[in-house]
Amino acid sequence: MCGMKTALLASYEKDAALLSLGKSLTDAGWELLGSAGTAKYLSDNGVTCRDVAELVGPPILGHRVVTLSRELHAGLLATDADAAELKKLGVRRIDLVYVTLYPLEQAVANGGTPAEVIEKTDIGGPTLLRAAAKGGRLVLSSPAQLHEFGQRLAASAFDERYRIALAAAAERRVADYVATSASYWERRIA
């Protein structure tokens, strides 16, 4: 669509790290999209961020379905060869994803009930991380990555090795998250 880079932020934690990332990206000329809570937090703190609902419609099923949309995933998975189709669909390429997942591990560690564990099981976040990794996008899956990212953003130094390292970390984060869920449910039937 246009040359501006787009970042999609969906963070369970609404904290100084998220705010710093949002400010760094907007200062570097990026457009921000955010899940409802993330967009509100950033906007309330002076960082311009569009709610993804403006693109994909309002959340449904009690806010359980927000970022699971064709438009967002097309923006993450499209290759350069898909540019014309994206333009025809009115879908913007998404160049970066930052996701922190619901605290499933904490719910499990605290002996959560099945209802509590289900409530803390993130579906959209892992899906965004995997789509961004598969699409070769910059994919941030931990606040611990933000310091180095900020340095690289300032220098525009996103080489292939760095991108692959981020993708691998995102895939590992999702694998560990899903393993926690699987282990919890396996213990319930043992």
132: containing domain? 6-189
pLDDT in tens, 118-162: 999 999 999 999 999 999 999 999 999 999 999 999 998 899 999
CATH classification at residue 39? 3.40.50.1380
Go through the chain and tell me how many residues it has.
190
For residue 85, give both structure tokens.
């189709």
**Does a structural domain hold residue 128?**
yes
The stretch 172-184 carries a mean pLDDT of 98
**Does a structural domain hold residue 131?**
yes
What pTM, to 2 d.p., does this model score? 0.92
Q: What is d(CA 47, CA 36) in angstroms, rounded to the nearest whole number?
A: 14
**Does a structural domain hold residue 132?**
yes
**Does a structural domain hold residue 30?**
yes
**Does a structural domain hold residue 1?**
no
Domain count, the chain: 1
pLDDT at residue number 65: 67
pLDDT in tens, 61-120: 666 667 778 889 999 999 999 999 999 988 899 999 999 999 999 999 999 999 999 999
pLDDT at residue number 1: 41
